[in-house]
Amino acid sequence: MAPFRPSLSLLSRISAPSKVPLFRDATVLAKPVQIYTSPTHDPYLNLAIEQYLLRNCAKSSAVLFLYVNRPCVVIGRNQNPWMEVNLDRRRRGIPSPSSPSKHTRVDLVRRRSGGGTVFHDLGNVNWSVICPSASFDFDRNRHAEMVSRALRRLGVEEARVNDRHDIVVGPSEKETYKVSGSAYKLITGRALHHGTCLLSSPHLPMVSELLRSPAEGYMQSKGVRSVRSPIRNVELGNEEFIDAVIGEFRKMYEGETPVVDVDTEAAVQATWIAEEMETIQTADWKYGQTPQFTFSTHPTEEDPRRRPPLPEDLPPKLRIHLDVRKGIIDLNSSSISGLRSDEGECAVRIGENDLYDVDAKADKKTLYEIVDWGTALSNPLDLQDPLLFNDTRKVSDWLNKMFGIGPSSM
């Protein structure tokens, strides 16, 4: 079957047979039990290889794929990055554990499976099992249990799977720490179950801040929210964990299957993988696939919650309401007013005077293409009105922070 592609022209290809395959020897993909590891830490390449294996391995095969990514935040298929991630922090990078004055780059990645947001780095190993869905007589815990057994074999005696299909450790039912989360993707005849496992991540103290959006209190979003859980490393090395998971997988699926380390040079040249990598790196995929959401500084009929107080230096009568679908602001249902701190009655049309707007009468503006709210909000005439100019700048700076806009420090 053809993989589902989101409703974007550049993504709407129907999968043609791969012109260049990953393996010259196609029988590799036909084996009943297959085990792969990846030498690359590129999250896009690893996710593309994983999808390739999901869609190209023999329909009856059982496949294990293990990989490690460089620091990145990975959101679920139907999540809102502005709501799940502190994009401003991500943009600036996170302090390096060894020298806090330096910053480490963090990628934002949207995967194809469901579920919530997780953090990856080199101290975290991702495991992935692909099976026929028809003979996959499983509860959702089948492969989380497999990984849990591997952890116990390595001496993490308290490792167990909880009712959210996560692997947790901890002294009691009340005090647990998540070490591994699960997500699934189901296509015709095949099921992918993958998860993380925190082994020795040096960035754990940063994860909580990274995964807490400053805009959360102003936003209401359709789609999937993450469930926040305390996390912990299990303090194991990557290699011993990988070996133990392979051992448990071989026990489950019987056989001394050799481990294939994927040739990444071949992988980036394989047509299907190259196209998938390109797709998942676009802003249209990462941001444009966000379910509908609103951002409002004040309670609305649909979302009457109390809002966090606005910073005191913003104009007191400022009111902002944004209605965003697929990452695009619907200007007919969005408004910004009270931009001037002295009179309050100054409404603007977002992008009205935006030099980058091809059509000044456009009724939509792509949120993720805004490079500075100052440009989207200010009118050249503002220069003659220093007060309005200053107020607009303050509002713009605040919005830039809320939506993680600004030059990347990496």
Partner 1 sequence: MASIARCLRAARPSTLSAFKTPVSRVCPVRAFHATSSNALRKYTKEHEWIDLSADLKTGVIGISEYAAKELGDVVFVELPEEGKQVNAGDAIGAVESVKSAADINAPIACKITGINLLLEEKPATINQVPEDDSHGGGWIAKVQVTEEGVKDLEKLMDPQAYAEFTAAEGEH
Q: Which residues bind partner 1 (CB under 8 A)?
A: 1-7, 12, 14, 76-78, 112-116, 131, 133-140, 165, 182-191, 222-224, 291-292
Neighbours of 265 (CB within 10 A): 8
Name the residue nearer to partner 1 (CB basis): 6 or 406: 6
Of 211, 205, 6, nearest to 89 by C-alpha is: 211
Of 100, 39, 44, 103, nearest to 65 by C-alpha is: 39
Shortest approach of partner 1 to residue 76 CB, angstroms? Answer: 8
Shortest approach of partner 1 to residue 243 CB, angstroms? Answer: 27
Q: Are 350 and 334 in contact (CB under 8 A)?
A: yes
Name the residue nearer to partner 1 (CB basis): 1 or 26: 1
Shortest approach of partner 1 to residue 185 CB, angstroms? Answer: 5
Question: And the tokens for 152?
Answer: 């116990």
Q: How far apart are CA 318 and CA 346, in angstroms?
A: 9
- Could you give the C-alpha distances from 107 to 43, 184, 344, in angstroms and in order? 8, 22, 40
Name the residue nearer to partner 1 (CB basis): 190 or 340: 190
Characterize the bridge pairing of strands 335-337 and 72-75: unpaired
Name the residue nearer to partner 1 (CB basis): 225 or 349: 225
Name the residue nearer to partner 1 (CB basis): 194 or 401: 194
The angle subtended at Cα 177 by Cα 171 and Cα 181, nearest 5°, is 135
Q: How far is CA 169 from the centre of its chain?
A: 25
Name the residue nearer to partner 1 (CB basis): 222 or 228: 222
Q: Which residue in the block uniquely carries the two structure tokens 């947001």?
A: 117
Name the residue nearer to partner 1 (CB basis): 68 or 131: 131
Shortest approach of partner 1 to residue 77 CB, angstroms? Answer: 5
Encode 20-32: b = buried (16+ Cβ within 10 Å), e = exposed: ebbeeeeebbebe
Shortest approach of partner 1 to residue 78 CB, angstroms? Answer: 4
Name the residue nearer to partner 1 (CB basis): 79 or 400: 79
Helix (H, G, I), strand (E, B) or coil at 359: coil
End-to-end Cα, the chain, rounded Å: 40
Shortest approach of partner 1 to residue 280 CB, angstroms? Answer: 14
Q: How far apart are CA 144 and CA 141, in angstroms?
A: 5
Q: Are 92 and 398 in contact (CB under 8 A)?
A: no
Q: Which residue in the block uniquely carries the two structure tokens 């805004």?
A: 370
Q: How far apart are CA 221 and CA 117, in angstroms?
A: 15
Shortest approach of partner 1 to residue 181 CB, angstroms? Answer: 8
Shortest approach of partner 1 to residue 192 CB, angstroms? Answer: 9
Name the residue nearer to partner 1 (CB basis): 321 or 325: 325
Shortest approach of partner 1 to residue 7 CB, angstroms? Answer: 4
